[in-house]
Structure 1
Amino acid sequence: MRLSEEQKAIVKQVGQEVFGNNVQLALFGSRLNDHVKGGDIDILVKSDKPMTGKMIKMLTMTARLQMRLGDQPIDILIYDPETPLSPVYEQALTNGELI
């Protein structure tokens, strides 16, 4: 995983500030491969309960992470029971590593 312990702690803290303590946060995508350079930070926010205000929360988390981690590309997927299961969600749910 190409995130430092400090970066993982920041992602977890910001995710809980924005979405609450009842979500799981996972890293997926190219940052899981230690042999590749670059790539954006792909984060899955998973909740067992339906969420409201997903777009505002996603934008808030993205902005806070960019302020704390630096201006770099960050993609956030939000998955709850109302989210249709598309291939990108399947990949994130299957291959994501909990933060």
Structure 2
Amino acid sequence: MRLSPEQIDIIRQAARAAFGSDARVWLFGSRVDDGKRGSDIDLYIETPQPYARAIDHETRFWGILQRRLGEQRIDIITRAADTSPQAIHQVARTTGVPLL
């Protein structure tokens, strides 16, 4: 996994601050592969909150990450409790690494 322990800690803290303690977070995409270089940080979030609230929290999460990690390309996919699962959600869960 191509994130430092400090970056992982920042992501965990930001997720708790933005979504609360019930959120689950996975890192997926190329950052999971130690053999790849560069790339953005792909994060998948599951939250028990409804979609309308989850989107506000996602924006807050992104802002915290930008301030704490520095300007980074960060893609966030959020699955709220009241949304149907999509293929990308399954891919992120099965290929990703749980962070929280």
TM-score under structure 1 length normalisation: 0.90
1:76 maps to a residue whose letter is I
- Partner-residue secondary structure (3-state), 1:8: helix
Instruction: Please list the CA deviations of residues 8-53 of structure 1 after superposition, one character each: whole Å capped at 9, or x if unmatched.
Output: 0000000000100111111011100101111111111113x34341
Match of 2:84 in 1: 84
Match of 1:9 in 2: 9
Structure 1 unaligned blocks of 5 or more: none
RMSD: 1.3
Contact 2:54 2:80 in 1 (8 A): no
Q: 2:30, 2:86 → 1: CA distance?
A: 19
Match of 2:37 in 1: 37
Q: How many residues in Structure 1 have an aligned counterpart in Structure 2? A: 98
Match of 2:71 in 1: 71
Structure 2 unaligned blocks of 5 or more: none
Match of 2:20 in 1: 20
Residue 55 in 1 paired to residue 55 in 2? yes
